[in-house]
Structure 1
Protein backbone atom coordinates (compact mmCIF):
# COMPACT_ATOMS: atom_id res chain seq x y z
CA UNK A 1 0.00 0.00 0.00
CA UNK A 2 1.40 3.40 -0.90
CA UNK A 3 1.77 6.13 1.69
CA UNK A 4 -0.94 8.16 -0.03
CA UNK A 5 -3.34 5.20 -0.02
CA UNK A 6 -2.51 4.58 3.63
CA UNK A 7 -3.24 8.20 4.48
CA UNK A 8 -6.51 8.11 2.58
CA UNK A 9 -7.50 5.01 4.53
CA UNK A 10 -6.45 6.63 7.81
CA UNK A 11 -8.48 9.75 6.98
CA UNK A 12 -11.52 7.60 6.39
CA UNK A 13 -10.92 6.01 9.80
CA UNK A 14 -10.74 9.48 11.40
CA UNK A 15 -7.01 9.32 12.13
CA UNK A 16 -5.06 12.25 10.67
CA UNK A 17 -1.90 11.21 8.84
CA UNK A 18 -0.03 14.46 9.03
CA UNK A 19 -0.82 16.23 12.28
CA UNK A 20 -0.31 19.91 11.60
CA UNK A 21 -0.87 19.46 7.89
CA UNK A 22 -4.08 17.77 6.77
CA UNK A 23 -5.68 18.33 10.17
CA UNK A 24 -5.42 22.11 10.09
CA UNK A 25 -3.59 22.15 13.44
CA UNK A 26 -0.41 24.23 13.58
CA UNK A 27 2.03 22.78 16.16
CA UNK A 28 3.92 26.08 16.25
CA UNK A 29 1.08 27.60 18.31
CA UNK A 30 2.19 25.41 21.21
CA UNK A 31 5.71 26.83 21.17
CA UNK A 32 4.37 30.38 20.96
CA UNK A 33 2.02 29.84 23.89
CA UNK A 34 4.69 28.17 26.03
CA UNK A 35 7.17 30.97 25.26
CA UNK A 36 4.69 33.57 26.54
CA UNK A 37 3.70 31.57 29.65
CA UNK A 38 5.82 32.57 32.66
CA UNK A 39 4.81 29.78 35.06
CA UNK A 40 4.00 26.09 35.15
CA UNK A 41 0.30 26.84 35.62
CA UNK A 42 0.22 29.25 32.71
CA UNK A 43 2.02 26.70 30.54
CA UNK A 44 -0.59 24.06 31.39
CA UNK A 45 -3.22 26.55 30.22
CA UNK A 46 -1.73 26.22 26.73
CA UNK A 47 -3.36 22.78 26.30
CA UNK A 48 -6.21 24.04 24.12
CA UNK A 49 -4.17 26.50 22.11
CA UNK A 50 -4.68 26.23 18.37
CA UNK A 51 -7.97 24.37 18.63
CA UNK A 52 -10.22 27.17 17.34
CA UNK A 53 -8.21 27.61 14.16
CA UNK A 54 -8.07 23.85 13.68
CA UNK A 55 -11.82 23.51 14.23
CA UNK A 56 -12.56 26.32 11.78
CA UNK A 57 -10.37 24.61 9.20
CA UNK A 58 -11.78 21.13 9.88
CA UNK A 59 -15.40 22.30 9.78
CA UNK A 60 -14.74 23.95 6.44
CA UNK A 61 -13.15 20.84 4.94
CA UNK A 62 -15.27 18.04 6.43
CA UNK A 63 -18.49 17.29 4.59
CA UNK A 64 -19.52 14.07 6.35
CA UNK A 65 -22.39 13.50 8.71
CA UNK A 66 -20.46 12.94 11.97
CA UNK A 67 -20.73 16.19 13.95
CA UNK A 68 -17.90 15.09 16.26
CA UNK A 69 -15.37 14.43 13.49
CA UNK A 70 -13.84 17.95 13.37
CA UNK A 71 -13.33 17.95 17.16
CA UNK A 72 -11.93 14.39 17.17
CA UNK A 73 -9.60 15.32 14.31
CA UNK A 74 -8.33 18.45 16.05
CA UNK A 75 -7.96 16.77 19.45
CA UNK A 76 -5.90 14.03 17.84
CA UNK A 77 -3.70 16.49 15.97
CA UNK A 78 -3.26 18.63 19.08
CA UNK A 79 -2.39 15.58 21.15
CA UNK A 80 0.19 14.45 18.60
CA UNK A 81 1.81 17.88 18.70
CA UNK A 82 1.85 17.83 22.53
CA UNK A 83 3.36 14.32 22.50
CA UNK A 84 6.14 15.56 20.23
CA UNK A 85 6.74 18.50 22.59
CA UNK A 86 6.70 16.14 25.59
CA UNK A 87 9.31 13.91 23.98
CA UNK A 88 11.67 16.84 23.48
CA UNK A 89 11.16 18.27 26.97
CA UNK A 90 11.50 14.82 28.57
CA UNK A 91 14.73 14.06 26.68
CA UNK A 92 16.16 17.45 27.73
CA UNK A 93 15.22 16.74 31.37
CA UNK A 94 16.88 13.31 31.21
CA UNK A 95 20.02 14.85 29.76
CA UNK A 96 20.09 17.56 32.42
CA UNK A 97 19.66 14.99 35.19
CA UNK A 98 22.37 12.82 33.65
CA UNK A 99 24.78 15.74 33.89
CA UNK A 100 24.08 15.99 37.62
CA UNK A 101 25.42 12.75 39.03
CA UNK A 102 23.59 13.29 42.34
CA UNK A 103 20.19 12.72 40.66
CA UNK A 104 20.31 9.78 38.26
CA UNK A 105 17.94 9.92 35.29
CA UNK A 106 16.44 6.53 36.24
CA UNK A 107 14.29 8.27 38.85
CA UNK A 108 12.83 10.54 36.17
CA UNK A 109 12.25 7.55 33.90
CA UNK A 110 10.28 5.84 36.67
CA UNK A 111 8.25 8.99 37.31
CA UNK A 112 7.40 9.19 33.61
CA UNK A 113 6.35 5.53 33.49
CA UNK A 114 4.13 6.08 36.53
CA UNK A 115 2.68 9.23 34.97
CA UNK A 116 1.79 7.34 31.78
CA UNK A 117 -0.14 4.77 33.82
CA UNK A 118 -1.85 7.57 35.75
CA UNK A 119 -2.79 9.40 32.55
CA UNK A 120 -4.29 6.26 31.04
CA UNK A 121 -6.34 5.48 34.16
CA UNK A 122 -7.51 9.09 34.56
CA UNK A 123 -8.51 9.46 30.93
CA UNK A 124 -10.25 6.09 30.86
CA UNK A 125 -12.26 7.35 33.83
CA UNK A 126 -13.09 10.54 31.92
CA UNK A 127 -14.30 8.41 29.01
CA UNK A 128 -16.41 6.22 31.28
CA UNK A 129 -17.96 9.23 33.04
CA UNK A 130 -18.82 11.12 29.85
CA UNK A 131 -22.29 11.43 28.41
CA UNK A 132 -23.32 8.63 26.10
CA UNK A 133 -21.62 8.91 22.74
CA UNK A 134 -19.09 11.48 24.00
CA UNK A 135 -16.66 9.14 25.78
CA UNK A 136 -14.05 9.06 23.04
CA UNK A 137 -13.96 12.86 22.85
CA UNK A 138 -13.69 13.13 26.64
CA UNK A 139 -10.80 10.67 26.66
CA UNK A 140 -9.03 12.42 23.78
CA UNK A 141 -9.39 15.82 25.49
CA UNK A 142 -8.09 14.35 28.75
CA UNK A 143 -5.08 12.74 27.06
CA UNK A 144 -4.23 16.03 25.33
CA UNK A 145 -4.69 18.11 28.50
CA UNK A 146 -2.70 15.75 30.73
CA UNK A 147 0.12 15.64 28.19
CA UNK A 148 0.21 19.45 28.14
CA UNK A 149 0.32 19.49 31.96
CA UNK A 150 3.22 17.05 31.95
CA UNK A 151 5.11 19.25 29.49
CA UNK A 152 4.56 22.21 31.84
CA UNK A 153 5.72 20.16 34.81
CA UNK A 154 8.90 18.97 33.11
CA UNK A 155 9.63 22.49 31.90
CA UNK A 156 9.25 23.70 35.50
CA UNK A 157 11.93 21.20 36.55
CA UNK A 158 14.26 22.92 34.12
CA UNK A 159 13.24 26.34 35.47
CA UNK A 160 14.22 25.29 39.00
CA UNK A 161 17.81 24.52 38.03
Structure 2
Protein backbone atom coordinates (compact mmCIF):
# COMPACT_ATOMS: atom_id res chain seq x y z
CA UNK A 1 0.00 0.00 0.00
CA UNK A 2 3.01 2.31 0.45
CA UNK A 3 3.36 2.26 -3.33
CA UNK A 4 -0.22 3.49 -3.62
CA UNK A 5 0.48 6.65 -1.62
CA UNK A 6 3.62 7.31 -3.68
CA UNK A 7 1.61 6.89 -6.87
CA UNK A 8 -1.17 9.13 -5.58
CA UNK A 9 1.29 11.84 -4.65
CA UNK A 10 2.99 11.66 -8.03
CA UNK A 11 -0.32 11.63 -9.90
CA UNK A 12 -1.45 14.90 -8.32
CA UNK A 13 -0.73 18.35 -9.74
CA UNK A 14 2.91 19.29 -9.59
CA UNK A 15 3.42 22.37 -7.48
CA UNK A 16 6.22 24.77 -8.31
CA UNK A 17 7.21 24.64 -4.68
CA UNK A 18 6.04 21.94 -2.28
CA UNK A 19 5.07 22.44 1.33
CA UNK A 20 7.79 23.25 3.83
CA UNK A 21 8.22 20.24 6.09
CA UNK A 22 10.50 19.85 9.10
CA UNK A 23 10.63 17.21 11.86
CA UNK A 24 11.31 19.97 14.40
CA UNK A 25 7.78 20.32 15.82
CA UNK A 26 7.49 16.59 16.53
CA UNK A 27 11.04 16.30 17.87
CA UNK A 28 10.53 19.29 20.19
CA UNK A 29 7.22 17.93 21.42
CA UNK A 30 8.76 14.53 22.16
CA UNK A 31 11.65 16.13 24.06
CA UNK A 32 9.22 18.16 26.17
CA UNK A 33 6.92 15.20 26.90
CA UNK A 34 7.62 14.36 30.53
CA UNK A 35 5.62 11.13 30.60
CA UNK A 36 5.04 8.59 27.85
CA UNK A 37 1.31 9.39 27.70
CA UNK A 38 2.11 12.92 26.58
CA UNK A 39 3.98 11.58 23.55
CA UNK A 40 0.64 10.66 21.94
CA UNK A 41 -0.07 14.38 21.71
CA UNK A 42 3.06 14.80 19.57
CA UNK A 43 1.73 12.64 16.77
CA UNK A 44 1.09 14.86 13.77
CA UNK A 45 2.80 17.96 15.19
CA UNK A 46 5.18 18.40 12.25
CA UNK A 47 2.47 17.54 9.73
CA UNK A 48 0.18 20.19 11.24
CA UNK A 49 2.98 22.72 11.07
CA UNK A 50 3.63 21.77 7.45
CA UNK A 51 -0.06 22.29 6.61
CA UNK A 52 -0.35 25.61 8.45
CA UNK A 53 -0.44 27.57 5.20
CA UNK A 54 -3.12 25.35 3.67
CA UNK A 55 -2.76 23.71 0.31
CA UNK A 56 -5.49 21.10 0.14
CA UNK A 57 -5.35 17.33 0.02
CA UNK A 58 -2.14 17.19 -2.04
CA UNK A 59 -0.22 19.16 0.60
CA UNK A 60 -1.85 17.18 3.42
CA UNK A 61 -0.72 13.92 1.80
CA UNK A 62 2.84 15.17 1.52
CA UNK A 63 2.96 16.51 5.07
CA UNK A 64 1.54 13.33 6.62
CA UNK A 65 3.84 11.18 4.49
CA UNK A 66 6.90 13.19 5.53
CA UNK A 67 6.07 12.82 9.21
CA UNK A 68 5.42 9.15 8.52
CA UNK A 69 9.03 8.82 7.35
CA UNK A 70 10.15 10.36 10.66
CA UNK A 71 8.13 7.86 12.71
CA UNK A 72 9.14 4.91 10.52
CA UNK A 73 12.84 5.65 11.06
CA UNK A 74 12.27 5.99 14.79
CA UNK A 75 10.28 2.74 14.87
CA UNK A 76 12.99 0.86 13.00
CA UNK A 77 15.65 2.15 15.40
CA UNK A 78 13.79 1.19 18.58
CA UNK A 79 12.79 -2.19 17.15
CA UNK A 80 16.39 -3.01 16.16
CA UNK A 81 17.63 -1.91 19.59
CA UNK A 82 15.10 -4.04 21.44
CA UNK A 83 15.56 -7.02 19.12
CA UNK A 84 19.36 -6.96 19.52
CA UNK A 85 19.04 -6.83 23.30
CA UNK A 86 16.44 -9.62 23.35
CA UNK A 87 18.48 -11.88 21.06
CA UNK A 88 21.40 -11.63 23.48
CA UNK A 89 19.47 -12.11 26.71
CA UNK A 90 16.07 -13.69 26.04
CA UNK A 91 15.41 -15.66 22.83
CA UNK A 92 11.73 -16.13 23.79
CA UNK A 93 11.30 -12.36 23.98
CA UNK A 94 13.07 -11.95 20.63
CA UNK A 95 10.60 -14.39 19.06
CA UNK A 96 7.65 -12.61 20.64
CA UNK A 97 8.93 -9.25 19.45
CA UNK A 98 9.30 -10.56 15.90
CA UNK A 99 5.75 -11.97 15.96
CA UNK A 100 4.47 -8.67 17.38
CA UNK A 101 6.02 -6.63 14.56
CA UNK A 102 4.79 -8.99 11.86
CA UNK A 103 1.26 -8.90 13.27
CA UNK A 104 1.43 -5.12 13.65
CA UNK A 105 2.41 -4.69 9.98
CA UNK A 106 -0.65 -6.70 8.94
CA UNK A 107 -2.82 -4.66 11.30
CA UNK A 108 -1.41 -1.35 10.01
CA UNK A 109 -1.96 -2.33 6.40
CA UNK A 110 -5.52 -3.57 7.01
CA UNK A 111 -6.43 -0.51 9.09
CA UNK A 112 -5.12 1.97 6.54
CA UNK A 113 -6.55 0.03 3.59
CA UNK A 114 -9.95 0.28 5.28
CA UNK A 115 -9.50 4.03 5.83
CA UNK A 116 -8.56 4.45 2.16
CA UNK A 117 -11.56 2.40 1.00
CA UNK A 118 -13.95 4.29 3.27
CA UNK A 119 -13.24 7.48 1.32
CA UNK A 120 -14.38 5.92 -1.97
CA UNK A 121 -13.29 8.18 -4.80
CA UNK A 122 -13.09 11.30 -2.64
CA UNK A 123 -10.06 13.56 -2.72
CA UNK A 124 -9.62 13.10 1.01
CA UNK A 125 -8.64 9.46 0.69
CA UNK A 126 -4.98 10.11 -0.05
CA UNK A 127 -4.38 12.33 2.98
CA UNK A 128 -6.54 10.04 5.14
CA UNK A 129 -4.42 7.07 4.08
CA UNK A 130 -1.14 8.95 4.68
CA UNK A 131 -2.39 10.17 8.07
CA UNK A 132 -3.38 6.61 9.02
CA UNK A 133 0.05 5.23 8.12
CA UNK A 134 1.76 8.05 10.03
CA UNK A 135 -0.46 7.74 13.11
CA UNK A 136 -0.39 3.94 13.29
CA UNK A 137 3.40 3.92 12.93
CA UNK A 138 3.76 6.63 15.58
CA UNK A 139 1.54 4.69 17.99
CA UNK A 140 3.64 1.54 17.53
CA UNK A 141 6.83 3.53 17.97
CA UNK A 142 5.63 5.02 21.25
CA UNK A 143 4.48 1.59 22.41
CA UNK A 144 7.93 0.10 21.80
CA UNK A 145 9.76 3.12 23.22
CA UNK A 146 8.01 2.75 26.56
CA UNK A 147 9.38 -0.79 26.80
CA UNK A 148 7.68 -4.13 27.00
Specify the TM-score bucket, using the shorter chain as the normaliser: 0.7 to 0.9
CA contact (8 A) 1:58 1:74 kept: no
Q: Which ranges of structure 1 fall in alignment gaps of 5 or more residues? A: 1-10, 15-21, 60-66
Task: Decide which structure has the larger Cα Rg and report it.
Answer: 1
| TM-score normalised according to structure 1 size | 0.71
**Gap change, CA 1:29 and 1:94, over 3 Å in 2:** farther
Q: Which ranges of structure 2 fall in alignment gaps of 5 or more residues? A: 1-8, 13-17
Calculate the aligned-residue CA RMSD, in Å: 2.5
Q: Secondary structure of 1:68's partner? A: helix
| TM-score normalised according to structure 2 size | 0.76
Instruction: Give how far 1:92 is off.
Output: 1.4
Out of 51, 58, 68, the residue aligned to residue 57 of structure 2 is 68
CA contact (8 A) 1:46 1:148 kept: no
Aligned residue pairs total 135
- Which structure would you say has the larger RCO, counting Cα contacts within 8 Å and 6 or more residues apart? 2
Q: Secondary structure of 2:25's partner? A: helix
CA deviations on 1:29-76 (whole Å, 9 max, x unpaired) are 3332222223343222211111232124674xxxxxxx3111111011
